[in-house]
Amino acid sequence: MAYSRIRFIITFAWFYGYTSLKRGYVYVATYMITPLSVLFLIYVISRGALLPYAILGGLLSIITMNSLSLVADVTFLRLELKLQDLLVSTHVKALDYLIGHILSNLIFSMPGIMVYILLGTLYGMFNAFRIIWLILVLTPLLISSSALAFFISTFIPHVRHSWGVASFLSIVFTIIPPLYYPAYAIPVIFLYPLLISPSTPASLVLQSAFGLYETDIILNYVTLIVETSIYVLLALKFSRWRSV
């Protein structure tokens, strides 16, 4: 039983991640265009002074946007292809399905991640300490954003609504929080409501780790882990897995 579930996760991640990447490479350019455009604008306006924020913001945005796009993907698979109806009647659990989507999203995001890693390397931003923090932050961000998207998708009644919801969440979770700009640019009182987005504590941790913003890095990382736990719990316990 355990072997078959693991095989499903690997197969689904390969099919929905790698094959989508191989056959739909144009979508890589689609999800890259926004963060690269913002990076260009920040570089021009700040004359390069805020480029580190744009590089970190691009990394966080790629993970967050692609994760939130699962709102549309999971809704389409559930309502149009009836895949969830099929899986419910098998040994596959909601956790397996969620992990499959998380891994497929990671595979699909790798080209964008590699581009920004290259940019950061050329700009001299990375060392061993920062790379460790990058991994420690991007992993829970991927999990939390994907879990939130999965949870929301199970309540969307029509596929046409899912595209708008995914686009709205992507903007709210990547443009408004301090991903592309210094966290000190906004008052702390306005920063607290933005913590509902996992990209906010993720950005605060990375800005602190990269020496761009002074804050309690441990407290913000704990916040990210707590949010990740909450969103995963919502996805597994309160999503409409069987009542679809």
The DSSP line for 27-85 is HHHHHHHHHHHHHHHHHHHHTTTTHHHHHHHHHHHHHHHHHHTHHHHHHHHHHTS-HHH
Whether residue 218 lies inside any domain: the answer is yes
Whether residue 114 lies inside any domain: the answer is yes
Per-residue pLDDT at 153 exceeds 70: yes
39-86 pLDDT tens trace? 999 999 999 899 999 999 999 999 999 999 999 999 999 998 888 888
Whether residue 156 lies inside any domain: the answer is yes
| Mean pLDDT (whole number) for 13-19 | 87
| Mean pLDDT (whole number) for 171-175 | 91
**Domain count for the chain:** 1
Whether residue 185 lies inside any domain: the answer is yes
pLDDT class for 212, splitting at 50, 70, 90? very high
pLDDT at position 243: 56
Whether residue 113 lies inside any domain: the answer is yes
pLDDT at position 64: 96
Whether the CA torsion 155, 161, 162, 168 is positive or negative: it is negative
| Mean pLDDT (whole number) for 143-162 | 93
Cα 204–62–236 angle (5° rounding)? 80
Range scoring the smallest mean pLDDT among 24-28, 67-71, 81-85, 172-176: 24-28
Residue-number span of the structural domain to which 117 is assigned: 2-238
Whether residue 57 lies inside any domain: the answer is yes
pLDDT class for 1, splitting at 50, 70, 90? low
Per-residue pLDDT at 159 exceeds 80: yes
Whether residue 149 lies inside any domain: the answer is yes
Per-residue pLDDT at 126 exceeds 60: yes
| Mean pLDDT (whole number) for 130-138 | 95
Helix spans in the chain (H): 2-13, 20-23, 26-46, 51-68, 70-79, 83-88, 94-122, 128-153, 159-174, 188-194, 199-209, 217-233
pLDDT at position 244: 44
Whole-angstrom Cα distance, residue 3 to residue 52?
Answer: 43
Whole-angstrom Cα distance, residue 13 to residue 9?
Answer: 6
Whether residue 201 lies inside any domain: the answer is yes
| Mean pLDDT (whole number) for 193-212 | 94
Q: Structure pTM? A: 0.94
